[in-house]
Homo-oligomer: A and B are copies of this chain.
Amino acid sequence: MTEPRYDVIAIGNAIVDVMAPCTDDLIEELDLNKGGMTLVDEDGAKRLYDAMGPAREISGGSAANTLAGLSAMGAQCAFIGQVADDQLGEVFAHDIRAVGIDFDTPARAGQPSTARCLIFVTPDAQRTMNTFLGASQFLPPETLDAEAVAAAKILYLEGYLWDPEEPRAAMRRAIEAARAAGRKVAFTLSEVFVIDRHGDDFRALIEDGLIDILFANHTELAALTGEDDFEAGLAALAPKVPTLVVTRSADGAVAMANGERAEVAAEPIDEVVDTTGAGDLFAAGFLFGHVREESLELSLRRGAIAAAEIISHYGARPEADLKALMAAKLG
């Protein structure tokens, strides 16, 4: 087995976030799924964009955000995801490479355009996401760089991307490549609607021992296990995955691994501005600790610190120097 070149390689949606503040009245008027992620087609995206106030564009995508956090902490990362050969595709590629992440998936010619996520941020800092998947859903499995996957300590997969067929096939192929190389597979459940549609797949992956590290929030845990009670959900799932990490928004997070359990409170911050990316950055912090073989508790602390940074400003990519922030907070 060769020495791994990357700490983490991820497959995820290659998305540019289009973010604007909005009122709760507008959420109601547009009949949006507040706090959730909803897939929209190009017409739906146009309708919502027309109703949106002046926006700013910031690269996003769940797994890509996680890598941006990992890279900011000092990890070596690579990203696999599909953009179109348009201006938003250039923006996405620029922003991910600018933080030192390898990104070699060739841009896709023609329609549809690069994925966009229209994010309405209400005064309570909740983000309501409406995603036009565009080119992102056409990640060709046959072009998957299995060598790169085999060269990373951890393969990180985004549940959102399990929905479209091509990326799902690419991810299955990547899991095989990672297992064959003796690497770990980490998976984030992303959203309840994904579990509603693909829960059987996820449970099968888990039963087959193909997931080493599983990320979920408390509602996703309930959806996957069928247990409404948080502790019952943990008890049902923990024996089946080597490392389980469950976030609970303002109530912190829990990790369980090999019978050990650790918890962390949410990191206190002055003002929550925009919760977009909180889960993604929590995963970044935890994975950073994990690849360095730190304790469960310290890994959770890193997750909480990274999540706190991201929700203190607009956008789901870190703005502060995460490496310095971790050093200041953890000594």
Contacts and interface: CB of A to CB of B under 8 A. Distances in A.
Interface of A: 20-21, 49-50, 52-59, 68, 86-88, 91, 94-96, 98-99, 113-114, 315, 317, 319
8 contacts: A50-B94, A53-B98, A54-B59, A54-B94, A54-B96, A55-B91, A57-B91, A87-B114
A130 B94 CA distance: 17
Contacts of A319: 21
A54 B87 contact: no
Total copies of the chain: 2
A68 B113 CA distance: 28
B58 A95 contact: no
Contacts of A113: 87
Given A87-B86, A87-B88, A58 B56 contact: yes
A98 B55 CA distance: 9
Contact of A94 (B55, B87, B317): B55
A54 B86 contact: no
Contacts of A54: 59, 68, 94-96, 98-99, 317
B57 A56 contact: yes
A114 B57 CA distance: 15
Contacts of A21: 319
A94 B52 CA distance: 9
A152 to B, nearest CB: 22
Nearest to A71: B54
A14 B94 CA distance: 22
Contacts of A114: 87
Given A53-B99, A54-B96, A55-B98, 15 more contacts: A21-B319, A49-B94, A52-B94, A53-B98, A54-B59, A54-B68, A54-B95, A54-B98, A54-B317, A55-B91, A56-B315, A57-B57, A57-B58, A57-B91, A87-B87
A96 B53 CA distance: 9
